[in-house]
Structure 1
């Protein structure tokens, strides 16, 4: 603590006077002898405040210039990094519903016990709400159109998914959970700019592709009906495959070309495939894996690094 001498010099080495503890606190807050507040005179506080004010104004100006330059180079709809250059990569993932996150991938209920399977019905109802009610979408779905020819719609328009063509997997039937044929939904995750390389001819199909896809392509010969990202589900192990039984796919076993590529157009909803279990085995966990088929969708059977597929488990007591 410094003190002024009579000749105007400052003595910085003078020992501060001894004061009682409370008086030290009082003098630390306000020193009437030297006119200091918290150890500094009002003039010094003013200088420090001015320095910090100028410094923060400069920081704000520099930050604003950087953010303006960054936002000028970005597009709200188009990602700067896409496909292989992005963190997500160029291989789309898959998902399924119902999905109760607290329970993971397991769907378990006792046959006929509505209290137990009602949560799966509610989960599906919530998931399908934007598909049934366009007002839930940001743009109210004004640009959704029907795509009966399964062709890509014009720019700024998207294909609507027809929830009336999902067979017996409807809200009126409790999606099969009230009976013996429960349903689940398969979806392909949105991946900006992904263009599937389709298996659109029988000659192109890989040897291990399921028979139901071959049958569908045999029955539907129009090129636009064959350009789909095919979907198949099967038991993961031999015991699962034996107990899983037959499956039906609605509205067809794949995602139509009319939904690709995804370009972040408002009103877009991912295409769905409803899978109905015809005669699932009871009192055992059925491990099911559903995968997508396209020439440029990589598939891995690894449980740790799953590619091009989704896993779920169903147990009906």
Structure 2
């Protein structure tokens, strides 16, 4: 019968570990001679240097082929989305509800609109975008002629929203039954909403429910037009001072003073019947004034 293996003490184990770390008889450190440690170290240094170089080369090649001004793939953005401000969302829908008798209620709406319109301040726009654009024509730019290798942007002034600019009426009509909403079309790089410049895209709002509660709908700028000079958009890097053209819509609420509204941007290349994307080309919201 094989002899039982002798049980080693803690001291003996420590002595074995110390002998493994440094074997003075054979001149080995942790099982290898200094010469072998030099060889294996050089191997791994060379291996990881080559791997790092290959990875860096792959990243450099990828970045070299990318255009920093235009995304390579934007096929999912065939038609832009449309948003409305004040952007007060319920569980599933946009609900713009306020109380004309409660100052805190309508002040909440005016605060949202004032914050949204800050970049459109007339002074800021004329400082950043002082290029004299030709209205009624697409602002096509092949070259980067703007400062710091950028392209020019057309100014959109807050005052162009007329009675809904916040200048004439700081409450935007929310202290009564004539509230203003602001419609914005989302950006798509190099997108042209029409094949012609003689017909500008425009906003059209219809009452889906509560038609008798809306006496009048007014658009600012006139006819709700989005001038072609704001298209195309060339990207944040190319046009750092660009702002979207806006359309303000003022509703005169009567009767029960609530309605379901659909506002869409009308243009030949903007679709709005996509069931899977309720914000493509249009936005639907509820507008209700309490008292």
> TM-score if structure 2 supplies the norm length?
0.75
Conserved in 2, the CA contact under 8 Å of 1:245 and 1:281? no
CA distance in 2, matches of 1:41, 1:69: 43
Partner of 2:233: 262
Task: Return closer, same or farther for 1:255/1:53 CA change in 2, 3 Å cut-off.
Answer: same
How many angstroms does 1:256 deviate by? 1.0
CA distance in 2, matches of 1:152, 1:16: 93
How many angstroms does 1:167 deviate by? 2.1
Task: Return closer, same or farther for 1:316/1:80 CA change in 2, 3 Å cut-off.
Answer: same
Conserved in 1, the CA contact under 8 Å of 2:263 and 2:284? yes
Partner of 1:74: 66
Give the secondary structure class of the aligned counterpart of 1:176.
coil
How many angstroms does 1:108 deviate by? 1.5
Gaps of 5+ in 1: 1-14, 201-223
Gaps of 5+ in 2: 23-28, 142-150
Give the secondary structure class of the aligned counterpart of 1:291.
strand
Give 2:80's match in structure 1, choosing from 92, 102, 125: 92
Q: Provide the aligned length of Structure 1 versus Structure 2.
A: 262
How many angstroms does 1:197 deviate by? 2.1
Partner of 1:184: 181
Between the two structures, name the one with larger relative contact order (CA 8 Å, sep ≥ 6). Answer: 2
Offset from partner CA, 1:11-60 (integer Å, 9 cap, x none): xxxx795445xx79x959x9213217xx9558688777655544433332
CA distance in 2, matches of 1:102, 1:56: 54
Conserved in 1, the CA contact under 8 Å of 2:83 and 2:279? no
> TM-score if structure 1 supplies the norm length?
0.70
Give 2:246's match in structure 1, choosing from 272, 296, 312: 272
TM alignment of 1:100-115, pairs within 5 A? 100=88, 105-115=94-104
Partner of 1:244: 214
Task: Return closer, same or farther for 1:181/1:305 CA change in 2, 3 Å cut-off.
Answer: closer
1:298 aligns with 2:284: no
1:124 aligns with 2:116: no
Instruction: Give me the CA root mean square deviation.
Output: 3.4
